[in-house]
Amino acid sequence: MSKSKNTNKKRLQDDKGDAIDKAGNGKLKNKTYEKELARLQVELVKMQEWVKATGYRAVVIFEGRDAAGKGGAIKRITECCSPRVVKVVALPAPTEREQTQWYFQRYVAHLPAAGEVILFDRSWYNRAGVERVMGFCNQDQYQEFMRSCPEFERMLVRSGIKLIKYWFSVSDEEQERRFQQRINDPAKRWKLSPMDLESRSKWVEYSIAKDTMFAHTDIKQAPWYVVNSTVKKKARLNVITHLLSLIPYEDLTPEPIELPPREERTGYVRPPMEDQTFIPEAF
């Protein structure tokens, strides 16, 4: 293990405090969660600055069951980072034109340039999951994906891209609870697509598809990492901690800066406030 990786592990363990404290049902106390999340988000910003300074390239794939917590984890990772460096890619269903392209073509367009980390909220593994189960691809297309995907990923790794793949695993009971929560919450109801509802009747088929996918694509150069996401807050902290441990970043935080004095308004006359259109103050 390199010196930089050892440094990262020590940094992530320092001041961990009561991170493993629990408050019944295996859940983290809110105070513990917020403290650890804030600490890890500072580390994410350090990682971002190192990525930008060194031209590092990384792709992080988030896959898993519906309502497994992928979106929440991505949101916490990006919350304090620059969208110009840490970017989220969540592609819609392919267009008619894209359906005639090489399968990986529309994903290649979103791969990172120097100094970027790309987070795929679902990815090319759609073919091994939803497309396979729902019949959106034929047997030949599916078999070709299983053959070519490991080679495609090895090619990415050889090109210098760090490829990290996460599978969020959630229990049947917890997934059902989250579905019901989304149904009852108008602000979350949009998360339940017709495809999500239809997939409920194909639980076993999705499980078989996932097992087959792992058997073909859990390769040494880009292994699958399984995230126990039954407790959302623990899953978020665990996946951020693990992600940081895989990127050999260094702390490039600049020294505190001193703001220069602001220029005086000599000779400047501000236009009348009445000439500007303000929004109504509802609060």
Structure tokens at 58: 């990384």
In this predicted structure, what is the pLDDT of residue 13?
47
- Of the candidates 87, 112, 206, the one whose C-alpha atom is nearest the C-alpha of residue 163 is 112
In this predicted structure, what is the pLDDT of residue 18?
35
Q: Where are the domains of the chain?
A: 3-252
In this predicted structure, what is the pLDDT of residue 180?
84
What residues in the chain have per-residue pLDDT under 70? 1-25
Q: What is the dihedral of CA 59, 64, 67, 68, to 10 degrees?
A: -90
What pTM did the predictor assign?
0.85
Which CATH class name applies to 3-252? alpha beta
In this predicted structure, what is the pLDDT of residue 12?
52
In this predicted structure, what is the pLDDT of residue 17?
37
In this predicted structure, what is the pLDDT of residue 266?
76
In this predicted structure, what is the pLDDT of residue 2?
52
In this predicted structure, what is the pLDDT of residue 7?
54
In this predicted structure, what is the pLDDT of residue 15?
40
